[in-house]
Amino acid sequence: MEKFDIGIIGGGPAGYTVGMLFAKQGKSVILFEKEKLGGTCLNRGCIPTKSMLHYSELYSELKNSDIFKENNIHVDFSKIIEKKNITVDKIRKSLELAVKNSGVKTVYAEACVKDKNMIIANNLEYIVDKIIIATGSKPREIKGLEFDHKFILSSDDVLALETLPKSILIVGSGAIGIEWARIFSNFGVEVTVIEMAEHLIPLADIEVSKRVERIFKKQGIKFYTNDYIEKIENKTASLKSGVTINPEIILVATGRIPVCPECDCDSTLGDACGEIQLAHYAIWQAKTEALGIPFDKTLVPAVIYGEPEIAWVGIREQDMDEDCNKYMLPITALGKAWCDDATDGFIKIITKNEKIVGAHIVSKEASSLIHILLMAIQNKTSVEELKSICFAHPTYAEGIAEIISYI
């Protein structure tokens, strides 16, 4: 019977990060993973979808360019799936090596907690001083839209598609729904999105939501807000609004729910704890657990990928009080945007008492830009202090310098 200081169940970002951090402190650590290291993010989420998004954008740009006159561009979807799998495998192998070199022992088996200090896996018992649960999440099912994995798909199922459908109905317009809408639309699939809320991306700033709706209309992506599916008969979806849709497949993208065993443990991290379901949030939970580093949960940045990218952090316009002010800069003000033919979007900041308290960006490179403003918010850097920074030209980042110059 082996003994360890730390026993971790789940090898996603929270699990492997906390394991390596404790191992670095000299703790003996054992990590149990029933499938593959990397969790949802690496194997069924962030990484594979971004790989497919990249190739979809490459195809769309070449197909719709008025410069490259090649007319017989076509998609070899099997090659895209192959590239996606190669990317995921390479990253996973690097992760496995990093975990091994850190001194963490990994057991690939389903594990369960027998009592506060014992974990069982492969019929073997392991004694541990501390148990951490990081078992992740699974796609959320909706009554009447239960997954059959053929016509009604989860976000896990859609990654296993071997061919592109001619049409798809996507239920939900969070990050998963929006990114898959972009992927399929780029490949020429007829896309329809349904959202129960009044606007797309209901968690975003209202002007971000409205801009995305405008972009979707321009791109030919159909969407219905304040609506939902009342029934499905013979693969025909009937909406509350009276609209009927006949998609080849339906993707239910209404989020994920924690997979958390009811057991006696010391800590629950990552998606399993049922808080913010983002890999970077899980990593920071692990840092807090192992190192005691605190962080402000209200300053976790959100990013939705595609062209243009969408990113935000902090206070939204709908959260503003009378002491707040907002400032906006259209991306058309930036020379780099014109060079890239990427002029749709804006940078928006919200200030209070001469400090930035919210930032919302729709732009190419928004996923990077948001961190400049996040650092200003978190460090309580004043607008006047930001004005002293020299931003390179031509860049998207100089849009931040431009917008604060008006304050």
**CATH for 141-252, among 3.40.50.300, 1.10.3720.10, 3.50.50.60, 1.10.630.10?**
3.50.50.60
Mean pLDDT of 358-372: 98
Q: Do domains 2-138+256-291 and 141-252 have the same CATH topology?
A: yes
280-287: Cβ within 8 A, 24+ apart: 280/13, 282/12, 282/13, 282/14, 282/17, 282/134, 283/13, 283/14, 283/17, 285/14, 285/18, 286/13, 286/14, 286/15, 286/17, 286/18, 286/21, 287/17, 287/21
What kind of fold does domain 2-138+256-291 have according to CATH? FAD/NAD(P)-binding domain (3.50.50)
Homologous superfamily of 301-404: FAD/NAD-linked reductase, C-terminal dimerisation domain (3.30.390.30)
Give pLDDT tens digits for 286-313. Answer: 999 999 998 899 999 999 999 999 999 9
Under the banding of pLDDT at 50, 70 and 90, the label for residue 115 is confident
Give pLDDT tens digits for 37-91. Answer: 999 999 999 999 999 999 999 999 888 877 776 667 888 999 999 999 999 999 9
Give pLDDT tens digits for 388-397. Answer: 999 999 999 9
Predicted local confidence at residue 21, as pLDDT: 98
> The dihedral of CA 245, 251, 255, 256: what is its sign?
positive
Q: What is the mean pLDDT of the chain?
A: 95
Predicted local confidence at residue 69, as pLDDT: 65
Under the banding of pLDDT at 50, 70 and 90, the label for residue 168 is very high
- What residue segments make up the domains of the chain, in order of their start? 2-138+256-291, 141-252, 301-404
Mean pLDDT of 189-208: 97
- E-strand spans in 134-240? 137-139, 152-153, 167-171, 190-195, 222-225, 229-233, 236-239
Mean pLDDT of 178-202: 98
Answer whether residue 137 shows pLDDT above 90.
Answer: yes
Mean pLDDT of 317-337: 97
Is this model's pTM higher than 0.85 or not?
A: yes
